[in-house]
Amino acid sequence: MGASRIGAPAEGAVPRTHAQPAQPHPSAPIPVQGPGVGEGVRTVLGETGLRVFPLILGGSEFGWNLGQPRSGAVLDRYVELGGNMVQTADSFAGGRSEHIIGQWLRGRGLRDSIVLATRVGGHADNPGLGSVNLVRAVEASLTRLGTDHIDVLYLDGQDTAANLEDTLATCEWLRDSGKVRFLAASRFSAERLVEARILVSAGYPRISVLETHYSLLNRGPFEGDLRLVTGAQGMAVTPTHSLEHGFLSGRHRTRARLGESARGAQLRSNLNRRGTRVLRAMDAVAAEHGVAVAAIALAWVLTQRGVAAPIVSAFQPEHVDELVQGVGVRLSRANLADLARAGE
């Protein structure tokens, strides 16, 4: 599962200046220019205690649609705007994403200031969460990332056949050996999260973070039992696909522009009355706040109970600017009501 994506920026945009108002309105977005913007904006990632920027940069495009130079430019811009957590997966571009991020970290000397997360269980060489493959997957990720430890290890819940107790026992060894600091779950059911928490009482390590699909157009799966369980367990939620493969960026409104790719099919699935209604509501809210439509999609996610930071990907440094605006937008009750009504 990749992170949310945004399309190409509009042409002819007026360059931003560095001038800032003396007393910005409380609902104004975080400025998106200048070094160090947003460095003081942090949220606690659940029980890990890690303080992270409320927007996690995903690496799903690195090594796939973006090579090393463009990936590095996106990463640089994210850090310039205050970002400090990057999430990738061993399955992204067959491990190439991890390799690119590792090279960037070494080249910039930023390993100690970046919260580094990766997801394992999906690589063809080490599939699943069985003990042997899990250790091999982590070792391979460490090599590609060029580091001696992973701050947050996401376990891919697609492997429902793996014995969870064996998986957590292996994670305990990985933690005690210093290779992994904290555990996260990706695509775990509520029942499996409860099982994992029961095993904590037997001394196994705690899963502190959940990655799950959640957006204005896809609310049901999380807003049921998953929200109840994560809330009761004090887990941080890091939603993915909050832009619905770029549809909620507002740049894909006609079928003629989508092509026949897999992503085109994903976008077409939202080109219906409900999707159009949501985009129109987002257009109005974006105009009110003076930000990009994508920023409204992320601002909505960030208002939801239990959400710590959505995971998003970008194709260009300019996209990062638009995404970061979502961190600073403060949606009014009227805004939230209009968006909720459009999504019904």
Residue 169 pLDDT > 90, yes or no?
yes
pTM here is 0.86
pLDDT of 33: 40
Residue 249 pLDDT > 70, yes or no?
yes
With contact defined as beta carbons under 8 Å apart, do 60 and 313 qualify?
A: yes
Q: What is the pLDDT of residues 200-234, one digit of tens each?
A: 999 999 999 999 999 999 998 899 999 999 999 99
Mean pLDDT of all residues belonging to the chain: 88
Residue 34 pLDDT > 70, yes or no?
no
Residue 27 pLDDT > 50, yes or no?
no
Confidence of residue 39 (pLDDT cuts 50, 70, 90): confident
CATH 3.20.20.100 fits 44-249+293-331, yes or no: yes
Q: What is the pLDDT of residues 69-106, one digit of tens each?
A: 999 999 999 999 999 999 999 999 999 999 999 999 99
pLDDT of 262: 56
Domain chopping of the chain, boundaries: 44-249+293-331
**Of the candidates 250, 301, 296, the residue with the CA atom closest to the CA atom of residue 276:** 250
Q: What is the pLDDT of residues 284-320, one digit of tens each?
A: 999 999 999 999 999 999 999 999 999 999 999 999 9
C-beta atoms surrounding 132 within 10 Å: 10
Q: What percent of the chain has pLDDT over 70?
A: 84
pLDDT of 245: 85
pLDDT of 284: 97
Tell me the residue ranges of DSSP E strands in 218-330.
236-237, 311-312
With contact defined as beta carbons under 8 Å apart, do 217 and 278 qualify?
A: yes
